[in-house]
Amino acid sequence: MSTPERKLRVGVTIAIRSTTQTIWENGIGQNCIFLARLLANSPQVGRSVLINANSEITPSATLMLGETGLDIIPLAEAAQHLDVIIEMGAQLPDDWVARFKKGGGRYAAMRVGNDYVIDIERAMFDRPNGSLSTAKTFDAVWTIPGHQSICTDYFGITTRSPVRIVPHVWSPLLFQKGIDALASDLSYGYKPGRKRWRVCAFEPNINMVKTSLIPMLACEEAYRMQPSFIESFFVCNTFHLKEQDVFRKLALSLDIVNHGVATFEGRFPVYDFMARQGDCVISHQWECAQNYLYYEILYGGYPLVHNSPLLHDHGYYYPDFETEEGGK
């Protein structure tokens, strides 16, 4: 590969939707930040920035963008000064991208979600359009190993672009800042010695990719085998589901619910919830084997019960949907 005459100026799109948005709402914001920081360290990149596609909204301090060491620029500046734009957190308008490419810019996409499942659910259940399949053309599409089997052809055919598998990027930078902000009487990290564990699940329950059902069934298996071992089971991100008829009937079929062991909670930052009342995390994914939650839990040294084949040698692995193995 020949060396460019000058170093590249690169931007990664990030979605800024409201003045109350936090970095812990989902993983995409962190993905954008870590990719931009990685590129900033490339010898072929002279400048790496985040692109705010909605410059009418000022990012809140809870997005922690000021902690990243990255500049945040509006679309107008991106059009004038960047050589490469990577669509990641925000999708830019087709006509804007066409003008950028006509002026000599390169436009790539980085996909870190299981968009095959997400897009099918949007179509089948009449959910809002995510605009991932558009008329714009990409010079390249990248995705991570965790989505290789299910999404590679989907991305390639719908974008008419070459798809490459690239590493999943994570850093404890922002997570550690959250830990450092904990109250003085709290600390993040596994503390051995408890005879009865407080088990937690943090699946977002937004789509079929990551839900709490298998963690609930696996915890039920463990409770039936050894009831005295589990003190509590906090099923986070399920408070909105607790009165939903199907979910409620399923939950009431379990001893962990009827015996008052399981509770259905809202959404919380992982570092804060675990520091207060967690000893172990049980997780489940379907074709989403790389997840920031896993890295955060392992970073704290907590036992992680999971079914990610890419992390087979870390934590406590159970295959596929085998709840009995998960319970053991």
Nearest to 9 by CA among 32, 52, 40: 40
DSSP assignment of 39-81 equals: HHT-TTEEEEEEEES-TTSPPPGGG-GGGTT--EEEHHHHHHH
pLDDT 10s digit of each residue in the chain, 328 long? 455 578 999 999 999 988 889 999 889 999 999 999 999 999 999 999 999 988 888 888 999 999 999 999 999 999 999 999 999 999 999 999 999 999 999 999 999 999 999 888 888 888 876 656 677 889 999 999 999 999 999 999 999 999 999 999 999 999 999 999 999 999 999 999 999 999 999 999 999 999 999 999 999 999 999 999 999 999 999 999 999 999 999 999 999 999 999 999 999 999 999 999 999 999 999 999 999 999 999 999 999 999 999 999 999 999 999 999 999 9
DSSP annotation string for 78-103:
HHHH-SEEEESSSPPPHHHHHHHHHT
CB 249 within 8 A of CB 107: no
State the pTM of this model.
Answer: 0.94
Q: How many CA atoms are closer than 13 Å to the CA of 114, on its beta-carbon side?
A: 20
Cα separation of 4 and 2, whole Å? Answer: 6
CB 177 within 8 A of CB 86: no
End-to-end CA distance of the chain: 51
| Residue 198 bridge partners (DSSP) | 232
Write the Ramachandran bin of 125: left for phi over 0, alpha for psi from -120 to 50, otherwise beta: alpha
CA distance readout (Å), 240 to 74, 75, 266: 35, 36, 8
Q: Report the pLDDT value the prediction gives residue 6, as an integer from 0 to 100.
A: 86
Q: Can you state the angle between helices 115-124 and 148-159, rounded to 10 degrees?
A: 70
Domain annotation for the chain: domains and CATH numbers: 8-165 (3.40.50), 181-327 (3.40.50.2000)
- Long-range own/partner contacts, residues 122-125 (CB < 8 A, 24 or more apart): none
